[in-house]
Structure 1
Amino acid sequence: MAGDERGPKFRRRAEARPDEVLDAALDLFIERGFASTRVEDIAARAGLSKGAVYLYFPSKEAVLEGLLRRAVVPIATSALSYIEGYVGDPRTPITFAMKAVAAKLADPKMLAIPKLMMREMINFPDFAQMYRREVLDHVIPVIIGLIRTGIAEGHLRPVDPELTVRSIVGPIVMHVLMDEVFGFRPEGGLSIDGLVDNHLTILFDGLSAPQSNKRFMAT
């Protein structure tokens, strides 16, 4: 009977272990940096043996990849579910996607992940390739298509869609980079949501087609 009672609890514990490992790793990566954190440190923080960690993640690099997949990929998937197949003024889904990213990055632990990736991509180029494969290769073509449609329907000026995508996402990347690498932080704090609001104002003033050119009004 006792064994039956322990069974479901044990299974729940086993199912939770990958997340426990990732939570412990993120705390240590924030405290010590990726290079100074050992797998045995992660195991100790998670309350597991080193061997148990390797059951779920074959290396420390795999743990960092796991953090990316757990945190960033769902954000991209959520944004894509809204953007794909959207009909109308592209400023609406762009605003939604940017504000959704800002809301997620308001959590310091969530923000720590892109900061880690920016630091570690230089030393571990496989991380950059994984980020491209898991996120950019899915998101960028959809946004390019959205811009092209917006131009064709008269919502946007005739701009280069591929370069415009870089203008859309670039400020957030540079904002985090300036803080993480160069130590430049606005007086009011990093404030991703404030940056996004400011960026969208400037972006849409530059992208929006003159009123006389519009064939469809924003919805």
Structure 2
Amino acid sequence: MPNLSTATAEAAERSDKRERRKEARPGELLAAALDLFVEKGFASTRAEEVAQRAGVSKGTLFLYFPSKEELFKAVVREHIAGTIKDAFGELQAFPGTSSELVHYLMHQWWERYGNTKASGISKLMMSEANNFPELAEFYQQEVIIPGHQLIQKVIERGMASGEFRQVDVEYAVFSMLAPIMFLIMWKYSMNGCCPMGEKIDPIRYLNSQADIVAKGLRNPGFTSQTSQSTTNTL
């Protein structure tokens, strides 16, 4: 029979394990929700399915997230909004030219978001946003507007240094955004049904698109000598 000190230690260990498990549950629920939202869409995913995949009861799910809508919002904040916020910080510290920044951001977008399961949320919103106005408004505020602002700052950075020509920034954003969204749609809609020879290599695709965007924005009269600095002036 274990002595008192051993029993106390075992009880403390069990309590510690339960506490760690409790702390891990939100992350496990978000991972399960992401999987199901991407696999089935928002409308077809049921809260009990998320709970079951995470290994908890439906009641436990609602302790952390009071509704499926709030669960979806948490998934977006965890997997998308944070990535955009990080990119703003990197833009401020980026030491290279704005053309190099275009290449860098498009490739980082693929590495951190486009090439992950979370990118399926973008396709989900394209197909279901009209049916869920509240979620569409939330996604607009958390993802679309900040994403556009990020690209605007990249273009404005190049214009301020003289590297990029003067353009309509509001609409020039789409020259960088459009190839990114095409790649997501291709990944989730067309890629699986195309012959091997017609599949898109994402890295080659992004290299080509970033080059086209950067050269299209470039000021023909710009040289490194005509700009005193390419550091961020924003």
| Bucket of the pairwise TM-score, normalised by the shorter protein | 0.7 to 0.9
Partner residue, 1:100: 108
2:190 to 184, 194, 197: 184
Q: In the aligned structure 2, how far is the partner of 1:115 from the partner of 1:105?
A: 13
Contact persistence 1:157–1:209 (CA under 8 A): yes
Deviates further, 144-153 or 41-50 = 144-153
Larger Rg over CA atoms: 2
Q: Which moved more, 1:105-114 or 1:15-24?
A: 105-114
Q: Deviations over 1:97-118 (max 9, x none)?
A: 1111111245442332322232
Paired letter, 1:198: S
Match of 1:203 among 213, 222, 226: 213
* 8 Å CA contact 2:32, 2:53 repeated in 1: yes
Give aligned pairs, total.
216
Give the match for residue 14 of structure 1: 22
Distance 1:152 1:20 in 2: 45
CA contact (8 A) 1:121 1:127 kept: yes
Q: Aligned partners of 1:139, 1:42: CA distance in 2, in Å? A: 28
> Which sections of structure 2, spanning at least 5 residues, go unmatched?
1-7
CA positional deviation for 1:57: 1.1
Q: Give aligned-pair identity as a percent.
A: 35
Mind listing any 5+ residue stretches in structure 1 that lack a counterpart?
none
* CA deviation string 1:102-154 (max 9, x = no partner): 11245442332322232232221222322232234334334324423422322
Query: Does residue 1:37 correspond to 2:45, yes or no?
Result: yes
The amino acid of 2:52's aligned partner reads A
1:65-102 CA distance string (max 9 Å, x none): 22111111221122111113657632222222111111
Q: TM-score, normalised by structure 2?
A: 0.79
Q: Distance in 1 between matches of 2:71 and 2:202?
A: 26
The equivalent of 1:124 in structure 2 is 132
- Structure with more relative contact order (C-alpha pairs < 8 Å, separation 6 or more): 2
Structure 1 segments of 4 or more deviating over 4 A? Answer: 85-88
- The answer as to whether partners of 2:161 and 2:230 remain within 8 angstroms in 1 is no
